[in-house]
Amino acid sequence: MYDNRPPDMAVRYRVSNVGERVAILPATCKTGAHSLARVGYRAQASERDGVVRVSCNACNENVDVDHFWALTLAGSPPARVELDDTPYADVLPVMVEPRDRPARQGW
């Protein structure tokens, strides 16, 4: 399901107002086609590789080679995970199969 492609970027973290470490994952899948909150996603962290892979359920069903983000982990495991595109607005995804991204606010 996953391969060892280079990571797209590092995971963004924030500290909540009760002092929890929160990991922020992109809210949109790597192809730009789906909202992960709507279609569902799978996040699989690999301590050995130091990355978390975030797979879009819709793209995974269509066997899209770019169905997942690969994000570098840093520091201790977060208490919670949130979805938000804002911290990733300047990220250019590393696509295996390059394509035009759908026009979308925030990208």
Judged by the rule CB under 5 A, the positions of this chain that interact with Zn ion are 29, 33-34, 56, 58-59
**13-41 burial, b for 16+ CB within 10 Å, e for fewer?**
eeeeeeeeeebbbbbbbbbbbbebeeeeb
- For residue 35, what are the CA distances in angstroms to 16, 27, 59, 95? 23, 6, 11, 18
Fill in the DSSP letter of residue 13.
E
Q: CB of 21: closest distance to Zn ion in angstroms? A: 27
Q: CB of 19: closest distance to Zn ion in angstroms? A: 33
Give whichever of 27 and 59 is closer to Zn ion, judged by the CB atom: 59
Give whichever of 11 and 33 is closer to Zn ion, judged by the CB atom: 33
Q: CB of 31: closest distance to Zn ion in angstroms? A: 5
Give whichever of 37 and 89 is closer to Zn ion, judged by the CB atom: 37
